[in-house]
Structure 1
C-alpha cells in the first residue's frame, strides 16, 4: 500500500509533542491507517523555553514503518525540515499595539531619513532651483510646484512599488517585503539545517 507524504519546510507548534499531522500532509487509500499514522508521535520537546529541531524525512519514514512495515512511503516534499516550538503567551493589547506603533515609527523615520539623504546626495534642491529658474526666468522663493509634484509622485511611486497602502492592495501579487521575508526565512532554514547536519544534531534514522 502506498502512503504519500508532503512535509512542510518549517512548522511552528505550541505543544511539546510532535505528531505526524503537525508536520505534513498525508494521503493513503486506507483511511484508518491514515489516521493511525497522523496520530503517531515523532518527537517530544523537553520542558523548557522556545526550541527548534531539525529532522530528516527518513526519520518520518522510519516512524511510519513502525505502524506497518509493508507500507511504501512516497515523499513529495523536502528531504529535511525544521519544527519550531514556541510557548503560548498571552500578550496584552497595549503591548501588541505598542509594538505595531514602534515598527511604524521606525519605518517612517527610517524611510524619511533615507529619502532626505538621497535627495541631498544627488542635489535635488539645486536641480529644482535651476529648473524653476530656467522655466520661470526668476529664482524661486521657497517651495514651489516642483516640490509639490515631486512629493506627490514619490508617494504614488512608493504605493505602486510596494503594492500596499494600509489595508488596500493594488493586486494579489505578494509585496516586495513579503517576497524578501520568504527568501530570508528560506535562507535561515537552509542554514540551520546545514549546521544541524554538520553538528550531527539532526533527528535522523541513525540518531
Structure 2
C-alpha cells in the first residue's frame, strides 16, 4: 500500500515554469482512501501544505560570483558605516583619549592600544555572534540569519495558506 500511495497523483501542474499550489490534507486523505477504503489515516501535521514547482535553470558561474561579490560589498560597507556611525555617536575617540590620559598621564599621539583591543574585540564578537568565520562554523547551532530566514519562510507559507483558504483557491476534497 505504501508504494501505491507514493505513486498516487495528488495534483498535476500545468507546465508553465514556477508555480505553487496549496493543498488541503483532506485532499491527500481522499486520495489515500481511493487506494484503500479500509485505511485509517491520522494527520499528525498541518492542515494545509504548499507544493512548489520550480523550473531548474543553470546560472552562469560569473553571474553567481558577481552576486556573491555584490552581497559581500553591500554587507561590508553597510556594517562599516553602521559601526562608524555608532563610534561617532558615542564619541569613542574622545572616550579612548580620556581613558588613555587617565592611565598614562599624557594625551595620546595617534591610535592607542585601546583602539587595537576595541577593533580585535569587535571582530571576535561578530564572529562569535554570527557563529561562523568563512566556511567554519563554531557550533552546530543555526546562525541568527538562518533562524530569521526560517521564521520568514514559515510566515510566508502561513500567509499563503491562509489567503488561499479565504479565496477558496486551495486544492480541497471538493476540487
TM-score by length of 2: 0.95
**CA-CA distance at 1:205 after TM superposition:** 1.0
Query: Does residue 190 in structure 1 map to residue 158 in structure 2?
Result: yes
Q: Aligned residue for 2:118?
A: 150
> Paired residues, what number?
175
The correspondence of residues 28-67 of structure 1 with structure 2, limited to 5 A, is 33-67=1-35
In structure 2, C-alpha distance between the alignment counterparts of 1:184 and 1:101, rounded to whole Å: 24
In structure 1, C-alpha distance between the alignment counterparts of 2:94 and 2:165, rounded to whole Å: 57
SS in 2 for 1:41: coil
Higher percent of residues as helix? 2
Give structure 1 regions of 4+ aligned residues with deviation exceeding 6 angstroms. none
Two-structure CA RMSD over aligned residues (Å): 1.2
Query: Does residue 91 in structure 1 map to residue 59 in structure 2?
Result: yes
SS in 2 for 1:104: helix
SS in 2 for 1:138: coil
In structure 1, C-alpha distance between the alignment counterparts of 2:65 and 2:102, rounded to whole Å: 50
**Structure 2 stretches lacking a partner, 5+ long:** none
Q: Aligned residue for 2:98?
A: 130
**CA-CA distance at 1:47 after TM superposition:** 2.3
**CA-CA distance at 1:154 after TM superposition:** 0.4
Choose between structure 1 and 2 for higher RCO, CA contacts under 8 A separated by at least 6 residues. 2
Q: Aligned residue for 1:177?
A: 145
